[in-house]
Structure formats: C-alpha cells, structure tokens
C-alpha cells in the first residue's frame, strides 16, 4: 500500500506537467494568430515583423525577414509588378480566416504541433469556409514559439505545403 501512494503522486505530477505544457503550447499558438491575423495581406511590414518576432523561432523570423527583403528588392527593381507574395500567408485561404480556434496540441519536450480550426465567413450565400491548418511549435529557452505552419486547405487554390516553403520560394526568387 505504501508503494501505491508515491506512484500515484508521480503520475499526478506527470499529468499536471503535461497539462501545463499543452496549455503553454495552445497559448503560444493563440498569441501568434492574434498578431498574424491582424496583419495586412502578404509579407508583414517591419512593425508587424517586430510584433511577430517574440512569437516565432529565430529560424522562422529569419525566413520572414529574408522573404521581405527579397520582395523589397524585387519591388524596387520592378515598379509596376505586383508583390511576390499576396494574400494571407499564415493560413490556407488567400482571404484569411475571420475566426480561429486552437485545437489539440501534442508533442514532446522539444517540438509540438497544434491543430488550428479556421473559418472564413464573408456572409455570402455559400456559407462559411472551414479548414484545419497545423501549427508547428518549438520549445525554446524563452518558451514555445511558432516554427512553421502546415497548410491544410483542400480546395484548388489553397496555399499548399508549409509556410517555410512559401517563404523560401519568395526569398529565392530574386536570386534566380
């Protein structure tokens, strides 16, 4: 009987730690979406990048900065061209979501992913569009940070792949 009590305490502590980690992951995801979806279409301007910086990993921040620099260079050289990246980069839908809910998060002590249920409701006759993207997180020295987004939209013109791939394409465009 005496062995049962310590085992129960250890199990309770592990469950409590796991719940705290899940809560921290969900908070990191929610904080990111609160900033990302208040931003303008396309690559973020310097002010928005500054707001995103504490919410994303250095890897993702660097990709966003490189893509922004490439677009700035392209725009300077091609005055009458549209931007290299348009629409909402942080979700599958060009127009972006009008609402989001962070779903279940899972992972280990270093990396995790969260399902994010997104809705775009333009109040049109066809009803709202709903989809689920995946937010990839990394546990850094300063807590959970967004490291990437996996686009989950299944319609013909949805963003495909991952945000990092889109950013790499934009960053590499100018050097081609």
* Residue 163 burial (10 A CB sphere; 0-12, 13-18, 19+): buried
pLDDT block averages, 10 residues each, the chain of length 176: 48 45 90 86 92 96 96 92 92 94 95 96 86 98 97 95 97 72
> Which of 105, 173, 157, 175 lies closest to 136 in space, CA to CA?
105
Predicted pLDDT of residue 12: 39
Per-residue pLDDT tens for 101-129?
999 999 999 999 999 999 999 887 788 99
Residues 128 and 119: beta-carbon distance below 8 Å? yes
Angle made by CA atoms 153, 159, 34, in degrees to the nearest 5: 80
- Distances in Å between the Cα of 31 and the Cα atoms of 34, 55, 140 are 5, 7, 16
Predicted pLDDT of residue 148: 98
Per-residue pLDDT tens for 129-144?
999 999 999 999 999 9
* Residue 165 burial (10 A CB sphere; 0-12, 13-18, 19+): middle
């Amino acid at each position: 009987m005496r062995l049962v009590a310590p085992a129960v305490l250890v199990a309770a502590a592990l469950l409590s730690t796991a719940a705290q980690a899940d809560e921290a992951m969900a908070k990191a995801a929610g904080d990111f979406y609160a900033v990302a979806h208040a931003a303008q279409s396309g690559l973020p301007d310097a002010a928005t990048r500054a707001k995103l910086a504490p919410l994303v990993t250095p890897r993702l921040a660097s990709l966003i900065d490189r893509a922004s620099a490439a677009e700035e260079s392209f725009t300077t050289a091609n005055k009458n061209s549209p931007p290299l990246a348009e629409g909402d980069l942080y979700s599958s839908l060009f127009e972006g979501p009008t609402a989001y809910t962070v779903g279940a998060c899972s992972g280990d002590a270093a990396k995790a992913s969260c399902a994010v249920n997104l809705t775009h409701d333009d109040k049109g006759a066809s009803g709202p569009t709903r989809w689920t993207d995946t937010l990839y997180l990394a546990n850094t020295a300063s807590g959970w940070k967004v490291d990437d987004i996996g686009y989950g939209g299944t319609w013909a013109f949805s963003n495909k792949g991952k945000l990092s791939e889109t950013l790499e394409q934009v960053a590499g465009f100018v050097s081609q």
